[in-house]
Amino acid sequence: MLEQPAIEAKKVFKSFKTVQAVKGVDLQIERGHFVAILGPNGAGKTTLVEMIEGIQTPDSGEIKVLGKTWKNHSAELHREIGLCLQDTRFIDKLRVIETLRLFGSFYGLHNDRVEEVIDLVGLDEKRRAYVVNLSGGQKQRLAIGLSLLNKPAILLLDEPTTGLDPNARREIWAILNRMKEESNATLLLTTHYMEEAEQLCDYVIIMDQGIILKEGTKNELLGEKKSLDDLFIDLTGRHLNE
Ligand SMILES: Nc1ncnc2c1ncn2[C@@H]1O[C@H](COP(=O)(O)OP(=O)(O)OP(=O)(O)O)[C@@H](O)[C@H]1O
Ligand SMILES: [Mg+2]
């Protein structure tokens, strides 16, 4: 049998009262690919990604992860995916190492894996620090560390670097690029930053107002355009970060 795609969405719709957040999205992401969903505030990125994560249910349409639906395979899928929500709340009075061990225990992992992850996300020096005292970038690296504990086949990150300074952003990119070299995981991230999509991802999906405007490899998308920002203005008449 042919290998199923990592993520597949067909004609997915989702509304909240008066807002149509996602309006008929189709997408297919192959295993091992790094894909960015690029779009401004309110584009529907979080709603779409949370449906892929099984946190929200589509009003209509179908989502499959590794060929499976959330309805019938939620326990298996939870073992296969790692996720990082747009805003992670930690337990302030736990230390970094305690937080990682606690989450590791949910997966029945040994402390060896916790040590690997603490090294991977560069938090060894902060292992005894209380989470409440971490900087924004360190908190985000911890959140990514938690999402990597179970060696997920699919990693879903919702705006992993929003609000971070350029240095902290590059540290996160380095972690993800290392993951790309060392594993065959699939990554889907959302972002407002053109540069992030360009630095990390082979394939970019441009989303606005609940629909996919355009998608492709960077080269396919750019064509004659100088930057993805120029392309976005062409598609919508606005800057991405307006
Ligand atoms: N739980 C909810 N209840 C009501 N409206 C919602 C809810 N969640 C999202 N929306 C609306 O759906 C639309 C899409 O929101 P969503 O959070 O998916 O966008 P986004 O692309 O993730 O934006 P951002 O870049 O700001 O995170 C917005 O108009 C938002 O106000
Ligand atoms: Mg969002």
Task: Return the residue whose CA atom lies nearest to atom 28 of ligand 1.
Answer: 42
Per-residue model confidence as pLDDT tens digits over 148-157: 999 999 999 9
Domain membership of residue 2 (yes or no) is no
Domain membership of residue 74 (yes or no) is yes
Ligand 1 proximal residues by C-beta, below 6 Å: 16, 19, 21, 39, 41-47, 86
pLDDT range class, residue 218, cuts 50, 70, 90: confident
Task: Return the residue whose CA atom lies nearest to atom 25 of ligand 1.
Answer: 41
* pLDDT for position 108: 92
Ligand nearest to the CA of 37: 1
Best residue among 47, 161, 194 to mutate for probing ligand 1's pocket (most ligand atoms within 8 Å of CB) is 47
Domain membership of residue 143 (yes or no) is yes
Task: Return the residue whose CA atom lies nearest to atom 30 of ligand 1.
Answer: 42
- 48 C-alpha vs ligand 1 centroid, how far in Å? 10
- 124 C-alpha vs ligand 1 centroid, how far in Å? 36
For the cut 70, the answer to whether the pLDDT of residue 238 exceeds it is yes
For the cut 80, the answer to whether the pLDDT of residue 186 exceeds it is yes
180 is in which domain, residue-wise? 7-236
CATH number at residue 165: 3.40.50.300
* pLDDT for position 1: 59
Q: Which residues pair with 155 in a beta bridge?
A: 82, 187
Domain membership of residue 1 (yes or no) is no
pLDDT range class, residue 242, cuts 50, 70, 90: low
Residue 48 Cα: closest atom of ligand 1: 18
- 116 C-alpha vs ligand 1 centroid, how far in Å? 35
- 192 C-alpha vs ligand 2 centroid, how far in Å? 9
- 67 C-alpha vs ligand 2 centroid, how far in Å? 25
Is the four-CA dihedral 206, 210, 213, 214 of positive or negative sign?
Answer: positive
- Compute the mean pLDDT over every residue in the chain, rounded to the nearest whole number: 93
Average pLDDT over residues 33-38: 96
For the cut 80, the answer to whether the pLDDT of residue 128 exceeds it is yes
For the cut 90, the answer to whether the pLDDT of residue 76 exceeds it is yes
- What Cα–Cα distance (Å) separates residue 179 from each residue in 18, 49, 146, 185? 40, 20, 14, 8
Closest CA to 140 of 155, 116, 128, 157: 157
Task: Return the residue whose CA atom lies nearest to atom 2 of ligand 1.
Answer: 16
What is the total count of domains within the chain?
1
pLDDT range class, residue 226, cuts 50, 70, 90: confident
DSSP for 78-94, written as a single string: HHHEEEE-SS----TTS
pLDDT range class, residue 3, cuts 50, 70, 90: confident
Q: For residue 31, give the amino acid letter.
A: R
Q: Which residues of 8-32 are buried (b: 16+ CB within 10 A; e: fewer)?
A: bbeebbbeeeeebbbeebebebeee
Domain membership of residue 183 (yes or no) is yes
Dig out the tokens for 14 from the structure. Answer: 């989702």
Residues 6 or more apart whose CB falls under 8 angstroms from that of 23 comprise 13, 44, 209, 210, 211
For the cut 90, the answer to whether the pLDDT of residue 127 exceeds it is yes
Is the four-CA dihedral 51, 54, 55, 58 of positive or negative sign?
Answer: positive
Ligand nearest to the CA of 50: 1
Domain membership of residue 242 (yes or no) is no
Range scoring the smallest mean pLDDT among 84-88, 185-189, 222-226: 222-226
Closest CA to 84 of 55, 123, 44: 55
Instruction: Give percent of the chain above pLDDT 90.
Output: 82
Domain membership of residue 98 (yes or no) is yes
For the cut 70, the answer to whether the pLDDT of residue 13 exceeds it is yes
Is residue 63 within 8 Å of 41, Cβ to Cβ?
Answer: no
For the cut 70, the answer to whether the pLDDT of residue 177 exceeds it is yes
Is residue 177 within 8 Å of 166, Cβ to Cβ?
Answer: no
